[in-house]
């Protein structure tokens, strides 16, 4: 055991500057499973990734599945690979674990280091079983992700577990080493998120991406996680659109990821048709999800998300010095000076554009889908985390229901998920959940295609 722990510690030190590797963008028709614990089960990062693809690649239909179960460690994920992951016929699997594997209250005990070593080794041994199963499916692309960090440095009243992150780094290290050895993808979430926490805590000691409990990222943290995944796929800098027009020369200098036509320039007025290939990413300003307190839009304060992933740039040079009103399809969007327009305006920041409203409708539909899917995961939590060890996995009869009711009397987690189990243990209800999600996804891909808009820029007064 000591040899394994020493090796993992050495890899952790060497991996301090780790970079993402072998992570390809999703292609049309991909079926992607995100396998994880509660951070996957009940939260948004995978939903934000899908929303990016829904809006930025409207013709590249994919399917993303939430395969998270709250409280899981690597060993529990291994036990449900067949029925919960491979059964979905994935073309891509993302796997993340570590938060629960490292332990919690062990770090408050006198022999904390010994217990941490045991937890890391147990996680490693469980992961080797997962690795072996993954190797049996060479046709499926695999991406291993480190878990987001446990925030030991934020000044909060919630329970702290000193040196928990050191154990998590050792888990990250064998994940990375395995990914490299197998030629699989790897994404480090822990170190970049820790770096943001430490940077922001210099200004505000209570800042954290990891939520009030130091464990579960808030909605802003989940947008950061999504951005790290998208960046690993090489998608940073893929503009929604990039429009450059010279008003004096009456010339279109650039039409990136869009088509500009019918340019008309007259005294004090410029007009053109605009057909983008993408929609802006609608950054949510509403707090959603269990125990969340910050919206995903708060992430814009700490990462350059708009510049990297949500840039719908309009540049108009050589307008006469004045203030101009910008309209899209006759609707006023705002007023800017000729200098502002020459420097460029990010239309994705304007929430009253028709393209942003179209994207917002998609976001709301995606949230409905996410909510239904989370309910299915709540039902499956009871199956995998409570009934499976009792030999009653998917038994879904009165005996199983009675067992759940008895368990709910003393187990708060069973009690919290019992409503989902009571509904979900009926096959007809599960079938409706599946049909509802498909209906929503079909609707999203029916309405997510950009349409032609007429942009007018006219001198005020």
User: Can you give the pTM of this predicted structure?
Assistant: 0.95
Contact 308, 280 (CB under 8 A): no
Q: Tens of pLDDT along 285-307?
A: 999 987 889 999 999 999 999 99
In 3D space, the residue among 141, 317, 143, 289 whose CA is nearest the CA of residue 222 turns out to be 289
DSSP assignment of 321-376: SSEEEEEETTEEEEEEEHHHHHH-EEGGG-TTSHHHHHHHHHHHHHHHHHHHHHHH
Containing H/E element for 111? Answer: none
Rounded distance, CA 253 to CA 275, Å?
16
Q: Tens of pLDDT along 213-250?
A: 999 999 999 999 999 999 999 999 999 999 999 999 99
Say how many C-beta atoms besides its own lie within 10 A of residue 186's C-beta.
25
Rounded distance, CA 89 to CA 30, Å?
10
pLDDT of residue 291: 80
pLDDT of residue 18: 52
Confidence of residue 461 (pLDDT cuts 50, 70, 90): confident
Confidence of residue 369 (pLDDT cuts 50, 70, 90): very high
Confidence of residue 19 (pLDDT cuts 50, 70, 90): low
Q: Tens of pLDDT along 392-416?
A: 999 999 999 999 999 999 999 999 9
Q: Which residues, in sequence order, are bridge partners of residue 459?
A: 324
Q: Tens of pLDDT along 21-46?
A: 889 999 999 999 999 999 999 999 99
Query: Mean pLDDT across the chain, nearest whole number?
Result: 95
- 133 SS3 class: helix
User: 13-17, 141-145, 266-270, 455-459 — which is least confidently predicted?
Assistant: 13-17
Residue 192's contacts (CB-CB under 8 Å, 6 or more residues apart) are 224, 228
Using the predicted structure, report yes or no on whether residue 11 has a pLDDT greater than 80: no
Whole-angstrom CA distances from 127 to 67, 182, 239, 320, 409 are 17, 13, 38, 65, 33
Alpha helices in 57-88 (DSSP H): 74-79
Give the pLDDT mean for 332-358: 98
Percent of all residues in the chain with a pLDDT value above 90, rounded to a whole number: 94
Using the predicted structure, report yes or no on whether residue 336 has a pLDDT greater than 90: yes
């Amino acid at each position: 055991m000591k040899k394994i722990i020493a090796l993992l510690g050495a890899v952790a030190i060497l991996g301090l500057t780790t970079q993402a590797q072998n992570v390809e963008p999703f292609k049309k028709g991909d079926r992607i499973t995100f396998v994880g614990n509660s951070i996957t089960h009940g939260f948004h990062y995978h939903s934000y990734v899908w929303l990016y693809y829904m809006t930025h690649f409207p013709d590249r239909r994919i399917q993303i599945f939430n395969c998270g179960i709250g409280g899981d460690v690597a060993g529990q994920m291994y036990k449900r690979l067949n029925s919960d992951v491979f059964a979905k016929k994935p073309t891509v699997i993302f796997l993340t674990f570590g938060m629960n594997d490292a332990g919690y209250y062990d770090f408050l005990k006198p022999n904390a280091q010994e217990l941490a070593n045991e937890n890391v080794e147990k996680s490693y041994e469980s992961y080797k079983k997962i690795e072996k199963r993954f190797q049996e499916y060479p046709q499926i692309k695999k991406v291993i992700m480190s878990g987001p960090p446990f925030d030991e440095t934020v000044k909060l009243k919630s329970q702290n577990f000193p040196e928990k992150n050191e154990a998590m780094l050792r888990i990250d290290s064998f994940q990375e080493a395995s990914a490299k050895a197998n030629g699989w993808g790897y994404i480090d979430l822990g170190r970049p998120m820790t770096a943001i926490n430490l940077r922001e805590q210099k200004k505000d000691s209570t800042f954290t991406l990891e939520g009030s409990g130091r464990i579960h990222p808030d909605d802003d943290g989940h947008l950061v996680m999504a951005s790290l995944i998208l960046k690993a796929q090489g998608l940073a800098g893929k503009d929604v659109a990039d429009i450059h027009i010279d008003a004096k020369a009456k010339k279109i200098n650039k039409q990136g990821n869009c088509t500009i036509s019918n340019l008309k320039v007259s005294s004090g007025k410029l007009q053109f048709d605009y057909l983008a290939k993408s929609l802006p990413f609608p950054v949510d300003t509403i707090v959603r999800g269990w125990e969340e307190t910050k919206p995903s839009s708060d992430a814009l304060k700490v990462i350059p998300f708009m510049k990297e992933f949500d840039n719908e740039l309009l540049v108009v040079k050589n307008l006469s010095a004045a203030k101009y009103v910008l309209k899209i399809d006759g609707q006023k969007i705002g007023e800017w000076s000729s200098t502002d327009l020459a420097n460029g305006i990010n239309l994705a920041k304007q929430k009253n554009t028709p393209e942003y409203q179209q994207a917002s409708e998609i976001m709301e539909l995606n949230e409905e889908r996410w909510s239904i899917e989370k309910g299915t995961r709540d039902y499956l939590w009871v199956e995998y985390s409570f009934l499976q060890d009792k030999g009653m996995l998917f038994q879904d009869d009165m005996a199983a229901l009675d067992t759940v009711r008895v368990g709910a009397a003393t187990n708060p987690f069973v009690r919290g998920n019992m409503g989902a189990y009571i509904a979900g243990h009926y096959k007809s209800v599960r079938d409706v959940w599946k049909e509802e999600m498909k209906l929503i996804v079909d609707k999203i891909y029916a309405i997510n295609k950009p349409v032609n808009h007429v942009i007018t820029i006219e001198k005020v007064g």
